[in-house]
Amino acid sequence: MRILVVEDDDGVAAAVVDALVSAGHGAVRARVAAEVAALRQDVDLVLLDLGLPDADGLDVLRELRRASELPVLVMTARSAERDVVRTLRLGADDYLVKPVRLPELLARIEAVARRRPRSRPAPEVVEVGDVRIELAAGRVTAGAAEVALTGKEFDILAVLARAAGTAVSRQALIEQVWGEAPGSRALDAHVVTLRGKLDRPGLLATVRGFGYRLGEASPIRYRSSS
C-alpha cells in the first residue's frame, strides 16, 4: 500500500516511514494539515496525528471523511476516553496512543486494510427519489428545482446522504457538522428547516431516541465521476 503519514514530529515520522518501507509499503509524509488535501489523492491509507501545528487533526479527519472513504488510522498522544470515542465517531478506522510499538502499528494497518476496500470511490452524487445531492458541488435539487440551503443545512444533509438508508446518531451528526457540540436544539432546528425546504414528507425520518435517517435503502442511487 501507499500510506500518507501526517505527522509534524520529524523523529516519529522518520521511524514510521522507515518501518513502512521495510514492510514493503510506500510512504509519503505531510508535516501540516494544509498538505493533506493534495497528498491524499494518490494513497491507500492515512496515518494521522491529531496534534498538528496548523489545525486540529479532528478537523483534518472531518474533511477526509467528507471527501473520501480512505481508511484512516489515528496515532496520537491523546489518551482520554472522550478523545478516542469522538475520533472513532468521526470516522477513524482505528486509534493508537503514542508511544506506538512499530510491529503493532504495522499489524493495525494490515487489519484496517483488510476491513476496508482500497479502490472504492466515494460517491459524488446521491439520489433519493427525485432529490439529487451533489456532494462535491454543494448543490441540491428536488424535482427540477434547486434547493437553497445554508452551509450547516447542506453539511447535515451531506452526512445523512453518505449514509443514506442508515440511521445516523444525533451525536455523530453534531460532531461531524459542528465539531464542538452546539446542543441538540440547534440540530433539531436545522433539521426542521431542512425538511421544510426539501418539501418531501418522510424523506428525512426521525429515529426515535437515536438520530435521523435519509430515505430508505431501495430507492437510493450512488454515483461517482468514473
- The grid coordinates listed for 61 are 479527519
Name the least confident of 3-7, 36-40, 193-197.
36-40
Name the least confident of 18-22, 110-114, 170-174, 179-183.
179-183
Separation of alpha carbons 118 and 121, rounded Å: 9
Predicted model pTM: 0.60
Name the least confident of 49-53, 77-81, 150-154, 182-186.
182-186
Q: Which residue has the higher pLDDT, 41 or 139?
A: 139
- 32's CB contacts (< 8 A; 6+ apart) are 8, 52, 53, 54, 55
The values of phi and psi at residue 80, to 5°, are -65, 145
Q: If you average pLDDT over every residue of the chain, what do you get?
A: 87
Query: % helix / strand / coil in the chain, to the nearest 5?
Result: 40, 25, 35
Confidence of residue 170 (pLDDT cuts 50, 70, 90): confident
Q: Chain-centre distance of CA 110, in angstroms?
A: 20
Q: Which residue has the higher pLDDT, 165 or 147?
A: 147
What is the predicted pLDDT for the residue at 180? 66
Task: Answer whether residue 77 shows pLDDT above 70.
Answer: yes
pLDDT 10s digits, 78-114: 999 999 999 999 999 999 999 999 999 999 998 888 7
- Summarize the confidence of residues 109-131 as an average pLDDT: 76
Burial class (CB in 10 A: 0-12, 13-18, 19+), 101: exposed
What is the predicted pLDDT for the residue at 210? 83
Confidence of residue 181 (pLDDT cuts 50, 70, 90): low
Residue percentage of the chain with pLDDT more than 90 = 54
